[in-house]
Amino acid sequence: MSLEADSISHAERQALHYGVFKSPIGDLYPIFLEHELVGIVFSKPHIRMGGIPEDFSVEIEAYFKGTLKNFSHPMKFITGTEFEQRVWQALRLIPFGETRTYKWLAEEVGSPRGNRAVGRALSKNPIPIVLPCHRIIESTGKLGGYTPGKDIKRRLLAMEYYSEPG
């Protein structure tokens, strides 16, 4: 997530804060604009530290325990084009522990020949894990890319796959 994007106002930039969440895949830095989640990054951001809202903390802990299948914490996009935001929202349609293809996602957002555009949008996903771009794989069954790294993608998919149902 680029916090330098032109679409972020100076006031929004000043109001951003982050917390640190110790996860099984390493430290995560959820970023909030007031109470709304606007990003999750894998390295310490250059904004003020402000903590993690309790309800989000409970949700992300439950996700990594395999007991939370869908996040409900309020979120807001402060970056991204209209197309990118449609792609990111469509990720919520993929059930926990399942995968879909770039082709499926392109069709879902009304751009059936837009696999590459979808891939570019996924590489800019500001809220990974909550908006599960790790669940998108190639039509051949190969993992495909993942901005934080294929090892993290592999670990997230394995964690979801082997979680207890329910």
122: Cβ contacts below 8 Å, ≥ 6 apart: 87, 102, 105, 133, 136, 145, 147
Our answer to whether residue 34 is catalytic in this structure is no
Identified catalytic residue from 78, 87, 106, 133: 133
What secondary structure does DSSP assign to 61-94, as a single string?
HHHHHT---S--S-B---S--HHHHHHHHHGGGS
Tokens at residue 154, please?
């592999």
Residue 123's alpha-carbon distances to 80, 95, 136, 162, in angstroms, are 11, 20, 11, 26
Task: Give the residue numbers marked as catalytic.
Answer: 133
